[in-house]
Structure 1
Amino acid sequence: LRREGLVVNHKKLFRLYREEKLAVRRRGGRKRAIGTRAPMLVPLRPDECWSLDFVSDQLTDGRRFRILAVVDDCTRQCLALIVDTSLSGMRVARELDRLITE
């Protein structure tokens, strides 16, 4: 009603809802995790675990480009930054294979 420009007292509105046997839709509660989660493993040695991250941005002329960042979780060192207008799955696999052989 307020969006339509009508100002109605909230107590009057609640009384009208109750008389018409209407119910205000309640929002769902927060979903809680069931059980306990396994703790995240902390890598103890370099090259034990890597993380991949895709970043996307746009050039001033409107063309989009993507960046694949490969980070070592133990040393937090960036192992590779691969930049291209499109990164296919084959290209990502090829770059990961190249990193493994280094």
Structure 2
Amino acid sequence: MLEATAVSERRACRLAGLSRDAFRHPPGQAPATQALSARIIELAQVRRRFGYRRLHDLLRPEYRSGTSA
């Protein structure tokens, strides 16, 4: 938006309803979240008929060992 028009960053963010900090620093995922997402996708491709609840039940033992619960 900034490159296409002669609008300042401050005004463009205000028009878009976005904080300037969020514009400058896009969110990133933690490595643990990326690994979990990849594992969910892998399981979902192998077991296509399983829903999210059943996939969660399959993943629970793998990730429970890393927590103190």
TM exceeding 0.5: no
Question: Scaled by the length of structure 2, what TM-score is found?
Answer: 0.37
Q: Quick check: which one's strand share is greater? A: 1
| Structure possessing the higher radius of gyration over alpha carbons | 1
